[in-house]
A and B are shown apart, each in its own frame.
Chain A
Amino acid sequence: MISEPLMVLSNERLAQDLCRMTLEAPQLAAQARPGQFVTVRVSDSYDPLLRRPLGIHRVLESGGSVQLLYKVVGRGTELLAALIPGQRLHLLGPLGNGFSLPVELDSALLVAGGIGVAPLLFLAQRILARPQPPQVELFFGGRSAQDLAALEQFEDLGVKITLSTDDGSRGQRGLITELLQPRLAGIDPARAKVFACGPTPMLKRVAQLTDMAQIACEVSLERQMACGVGSCMGCVTGVHGAPLAREGHAECSTAGPAHYERVCLEGPVFDADKVEWSDG
């Protein structure tokens, strides 16, 4: 894990609220696995106070650099967008676990909603770098064409792309999960896996669809975070599975998720069927 100021090599605005930053980070590039993330300190002052978690978008191993794709949503990300090449950004990472790739895999379906595409390019990169790579497809939905970032990079990798937008400005009008559903019917569930990142309602729907189709699915969750390393318990999500020991503790015997896991440490990638989707 590194915790240091890194040199900004480039910081481009791809669309009105989408930016891509390249950082000189040989150690991070060597260590990072797809699905992991970093946290960055957006200001030297204390407002904003908390670091921003960003998925690792792409690793350029030859140059020892790492790209972050981020959406400008508030003052913190505005400050990030204002950084210019030569400046330094304090970064902590790689954090969390990553996606896991089964050995036997014929088909990898990546499902992205908006900025959720960020960690999926790195994943596609790594899947396709395998000796006998499976077929990789991207199902990518956004509100409008402007949200559909990094398409060229996926095309360059040879990923088959299916698009949708809420306003119909690119791809089919509607939700990307509507396009995913028929595709899931056409593949061998035992040799396929779905990897999804995006808004919670989309992930919830992907989890339902893959559950019905009996296809393995991992989702990458996004939560407000404070520490990023598992110490504050701020970013948890409810999960099914082995509950906490509850002996003699009335407060713990109420209904609800089996227990909470930290998105920053046990996640951000979880098996879709493990996540308690009814929980905030």
Chain B
Amino acid sequence: MVDLSVTVGSLKLNNPVLTASGTFGYGLEYVDLLDLSKLGGIVVKGLSRWPIPGNKPPRICETACGMLNAIGLQNIGVDAFLDEKLPRLADFDCAIIANVYGHSIEEYVEVAQLLDQRGAGRVHGIELNVSCPNVEAGGMAFGVDPDVVARLTQSVRQAVDLPLIVKLSPQVTDIAAIARAAQQAGADALSVTNTIPAMAIDAATRKPKLSNISGGLSGPAIKPVALRLVWVVSQAVSIPVIGLGGIMCGQDAAEFMIAGASAVQVGTATFNDPQAPCRIVGELEQFCEQQGIGAVRELTGTLKVDG
């Protein structure tokens, strides 16, 4: 029997597999397909203070071993989440982490406070989205500057008691510097990483395949990039790292943990296989059994580097 429980800062998870924000809706879309209680946690679709209509379609396209998206953070707003979605999520025995997005530091703080106060006991953590590549009015600008990440993290940290996770952008010159800035400002954990800015073109029409022109690449195509970033970040900070980027199976999850992650998020895999998050929990357990590992947390940060 493998002990699958992990802790991410003060966040206690039944197992290390979470669903990634933007790929699992508000969780309820999957109640007919998965037992949500078998997941370590659900990171819900990014929430803003007010509903956001999102980008014009087409918003997604397939690429080799991956996909591009430019959803533009379409969401129902934090009030509707708290009123309509969260009460039903409380039926399940898994952590609910609210991904938060704002146009300004004040807006991030306001959304986080609402989740902390009105979602008390039912929201178990907050993940700050400082790295959405698809929104001009914020997103990326927050994620690329260590000082801005620090100010944002600190502002939210002072406003809420919930475990605070900062989701880092891959598109920075020195991700370690951003990671350290978030840690110093009070982040409890870091999610590494978001989608990678990318584009696809239809040669026949000479048009971009997304109306936003570019979007974020996800799926197995980005796994090697994400894996390295998890390793780099986990070397740079002492707070836990949650790894994500193209995790499709239990062995992928194990690789991210070996690289330094305490937990993982499964995103695009769910589009290929709606049962992927639960399947990955089972495969990870099986991997540990085969390797003679008694507790999955023992995998974290065990990369063997010669010399």
B62→A231 contact, CB < 8 A? no
Contact stretch, chosen from A81-89, A96-104, A122-130, A243-251: A243-251
Closest chain A residue, CB of each to CB of B80: A245
Q: Give chain B nearest CB distance to A178 CB in angstroms.
A: 26
| B interface secondary structure, majority | loop
Q: Give chain A nearest CB distance to B54 CB in angstroms.
A: 6
Q: Give chain B nearest CB distance to A76 CB in angstroms.
A: 8
Near A by CB (< 8 A), chain B positions 85-111 give 103
Q: How many angstroms from the CA of A92 to the CA of B29 in the assembled complex?
A: 13
- Please tell me the number of chain A residues within 8 Å of chain B, measured between CB atoms: 42
Give every chain B residue within 8 A of A279 (Cβ-Cβ).
Answer: 56-57
Say yes or no for A33: interface residue by CB 8 A criterion. Answer: no
Say yes or no for B121: interface residue by CB 8 A criterion. Answer: no
Beyond A229-B30, A245-B50, A247-B50, is A50–B57 a contact (Cβ under 8 Å)? no
Beyond A227-B23, A237-B57, A280-B58, is A41–B273 a contact (Cβ under 8 Å)? yes
Closest chain A residue, CB of each to CB of B61: A224
Q: How many angstroms from the CA of A244 to the CA of B79 in the assembled complex?
A: 13
| A interface secondary structure, majority | loop
Say yes or no for B176: interface residue by CB 8 A criterion. Answer: no
Say yes or no for B64: interface residue by CB 8 A criterion. Answer: yes
Closest chain A residue, CB of each to CB of B24: A231
Say yes or no for B301: interface residue by CB 8 A criterion. Answer: no
Q: How many angstroms from the CA of A59 to the CA of B60 in the assembled complex?
A: 31
A233→B23 contact, CB < 8 A? no
Closest chain B residue, CB of each to CB of A52: B62
Beyond A227-B23, A251-B103, is A234–B66 a contact (Cβ under 8 Å)? no
Say yes or no for B22: interface residue by CB 8 A criterion. Answer: yes
A48→B51 contact, CB < 8 A? no
A48, A223, A227, A233 interface centre (most CB from chain B within 10 Å): A233
Give every chain B residue within 8 A of A238 (Cβ-Cβ).
Answer: 56-57
Say yes or no for A3: interface residue by CB 8 A criterion. Answer: yes
Q: How many angstroms from the CA of A230 to the CA of B274 in the assembled complex?
A: 12
15 further contact pairs, Cβ within 8 A, besides A47-B64, A233-B54: A49-B65, A49-B271, A51-B271, A51-B272, A224-B60, A226-B67, A227-B23, A227-B270, A228-B271, A231-B25, A234-B71, A235-B57, A246-B50, A248-B49, A260-B57
10 tightest Cβ-Cβ pairs between the two chains A and B: A231-B25, A234-B60, A249-B50, A244-B51, A231-B29, A226-B271, A233-B74, A46-B220, A47-B65, A1-B32
Residues of A within 8 A of B (CB): 1, 3, 41, 46-51, 90, 92, 223-238, 244-249, 251-252, 256-257, 259-260, 265, 279-280
Residues of B within 8 A of A (CB): 22-25, 29-30, 32-33, 45, 49-54, 56-62, 64-67, 69, 71, 74, 77, 103, 137, 211, 219-220, 248, 268, 270-275
